[in-house]
């Protein structure tokens, strides 16, 4: 048992059938040798050649064809974005102040309602007690 190199330069286990090239193909595949055990669970077929990866580089001069932004354009864009952020911040502060006012007024109203409900409950209880 061992390995041997075939015509294509691949290392294969001795006695393993390997496909022949189309020009060499006659009756099919090579037969296994007699010294190999047919029940051998470790017998494997040879690995195929790996497919080479091809990463195509960008075309020559690609980076020089892209428009380069000038520093003044970048600064203008930065100023626009800064102003937009300030506007958003102002809107958020105003919104939070509005929410605080609404919650405050609702708290006062709910407090008043709670007080009124308690007073009505006391009146009801006192009327109920007086009627008995």
Q: What is the pLDDT of residues 48-106, one digit of tens each?
A: 676 666 667 666 665 555 566 788 888 999 999 999 999 999 999 999 999 988 888 88
- Out of 40-44, 86-90, 120-124, pick the least confident: 40-44
What integer best gives the mean pLDDT of the chain? 75
The reply to whether the predicted model has a pTM over 0.85 is no
CA distance 27 to 19: 11
Here the tokens at position 30 are: 């090579």
**Could you give the residue ranges of the DSSP H alpha helices within the chain?**
62-65, 71-131
CA distance 17 to 6: 11
Residues 6+ apart with CB under 8 A from 26: 20
- Eight-state DSSP code of residue 18: -
């Amino acid at each position: 048992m061992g390995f041997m190199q075939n015509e294509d330069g691949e290392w294969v286990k001795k006695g393993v059938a390997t496909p022949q090239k189309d020009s060499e193909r006659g009756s099919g595949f090579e037969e296994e040798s007699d010294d190999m055990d047919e029940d051998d669970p470790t017998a494997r077929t040879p690995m195929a050649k790996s497919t080479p990866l091809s990463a195509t580089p960008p075309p020559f001069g690609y980076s020089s064809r892209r428009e380069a932004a000038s520093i003044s354009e970048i600064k203008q864009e930065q100023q626009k974005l800064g102003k937009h952020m300030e506007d958003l911040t102002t809107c958020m502060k105003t919104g939070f102040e509005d929410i605080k006012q609404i919650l405050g007024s609702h708290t006062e109203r709910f407090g008043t309602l709670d007080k009124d409900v308690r007073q009505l409950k006391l009146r009801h209880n006192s009327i109920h007690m007086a009627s008995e």
